[in-house]
Amino acid sequence: MDLNESESAAGGGATGQPEPAGAAPRKASRGKLLIGAVLAVALVAGLYLVNRYWIAPALRTQAMSNGDHPEAPPISLTDIEGKKLDLADYKGKVVVLDFWATWCGPCRIEIPGLIELQNKYANRGFSVIGISMDDESGSVVEFYKEFKMNYPVAVGNQGVGELYGGIFGLPTTFLIGRDGRIYAKHTGATGVDVMEDEVQQLLAMSPDTEKTSFKPALAAGTSTKIELGDPAAIDSEVPGVNLAKLTAAQKESLKKQLTEQHCPCGCNFTLLKCRQVDRACRTSLKLAQEQMDKILKSGV
C-alpha cells in the first residue's frame, strides 16, 4: 500500500477525497457493536461451561464432604422371585440401589455393568438392588432371565420413588454406605468405572470414616444434593401434602376445597382427584400446598 492510499484510509490525505462528515464515528460505533455482540455470545457460552464443568461440580463435592448424607429411606417389597426384599437387611453392606425399567434404553446399557460389580464385590459385603418402575412384573421377569441378572430385583411403585425424592429420570442410582446413608446419586446411565470407584471407596472405609472421606465421582448426572421425600406426605389423604399440622376439621375443609376446584394442568380432574391419580403433577401439588398454607394461616 503506498502512502497515498494509507493517507486516504486515514480519512483523507492531501491528495484524497474527504469522507462525509460523521462517517468515521458511525463506522467506529458499528464496529464496537459487533465486538460487543461477539463478546456477549462468548461470555454466555463461557459462563455456561464454567458453571457446568467447574463451579457446579465443586459445589457438589463441597456439599457431600460436609456430611450431606441422609439415611436411605426404608424399602420393603417382594422381589420377582417371591422373596422378601427389605433394605434394612442390607445394613452393614455397601449397596447400589438402581431404579430402572425394561422400556428404558439407557438402563439396558447400565445393567451389565451392575451385574459385573455384583460378581466382583458380592463376597466383600456389597450388593446391587434393582427397583423396576415397570407397571407389571411379567416383562421384568423376562428381562431378568434374558440379561441373567444376578442381584435382587423388585417391582417398585410411586410411593417408593417419592420416598427417594421422586424418580424423574431412569436409571437413577443411589450409592448407600454400610451405615445405611446415601453417599451419591446418579441420574442417567453411569459408567461402571464411575460406580466402581465409589463402591471401592466405601468398601475400603470403615463406617466411621465414610462420611468425611468419601469423594463422589464428578460425572455428569451426579446430583448436587440428595433430597428425599416426606413419608407423611407420601401416605397422606392428599398425596404429596403433609397434613400433620391440620386439625381433623381443617383436613376435611381442605379436602372439600380441593374437590371444588379443577386442576389447571389439563387433566379435567378436581385438585384432590388429580393428586390421587397423578402424584407427579406439580400443578395440583403446588395449589394443594398453597390451599393448606391458607388454612393454617387463617386458623379456621
Between 57 and 180, name the residue whose CB sits nearer to other proteins.
57
Tell which positions 195-224 bind other proteins, by CB under 8 A.
220-221
Classify residue 205 by its DSSP letter.
S
Q: Which helix (H) or strand (E) holds 184?
A: strand 182-187
Q: Does 59 bind other proteins (CB under 8 A)?
A: no
Considering only 7, 197, 267, 276, the residue that binds other proteins (CB under 8 A) is 267
> What's the sign of the alpha-carbon dihedral 18, 21, 23, 24?
positive
Long-range interactions of 107-110: CB distance < 8 A, separation 24+: 107/170, 107/171, 107/189, 108/147, 109/189, 110/171, 110/173, 110/189, 110/190, 110/192
CB of 298 to other proteins, least distance (A): 30
Rule CB under 8 A: is residue 48 a binding residue for other proteins? yes
The CB density around residue 196, as the number of other CB atoms within 10 Å, is 17
Q: Per CB under 8 A, which region of 13-21, 69-77, 184-192, 208-216 contacts other proteins?
A: 184-192
The yes or no reply on residue 168 touching other proteins (CB under 8 A) is: yes
Sign for the CA dihedral angle at 251, 256, 259, 263 comes to: negative
Q: Looking at 7, 56, 73, 231, which residue binds other proteins (CB under 8 A)?
A: 56
Judged by beta carbon, residue 170 or residue 288, the one nearer other proteins is 170
Is position 40 an interface residue for other proteins (rule: CB under 8 A)?
Answer: yes
Quote the DSSP letter at residue 134: -
Q: Does the protein bind other proteins through residue 232 (CB under 8 A)?
A: no
Q: How far is the CB of 184 from other proteins (least distance, A)?
A: 16
Maximal CA-CA distance, the chain: 99
Grid cell, residue 47, equals 459462563
On whether the CB atoms of residues 261 and 271 are closer than 8 A, the answer is yes
Q: Is 25 a residue that touches other proteins (CB under 8 A)?
A: no
229 binds other proteins (CB under 8 A): no
Query: What number of chain residues touch other proteins (CB under 8 A)?
Result: 37
Q: Which positions from 102 through 121 interact with other proteins, judged by CB under 8 A? A: 102-109
Q: How many CB atoms lie within 10 A of CB 273?
A: 16
Indicate the residue among 43 and 244 with the shorter CB distance to other proteins.
43
For position 53 contacting other proteins by CB under 8 A, the verdict is no
Q: How far apart are CA 300 and CA 257, in angstroms?
A: 13
The residues with which 95 forms a beta bridge, in sequence order, are: 127, 176
Of the candidate spans 16-24, 79-87, 118-126, 164-172, the one that interacts with other proteins by CB under 8 A turns out to be: 164-172
- State the residues that interact with other proteins by CB under 8 A: 32, 36, 39-40, 43-44, 47-48, 51-52, 56, 101-109, 133, 139, 167-171, 187-189, 220-221, 266-268, 280, 282
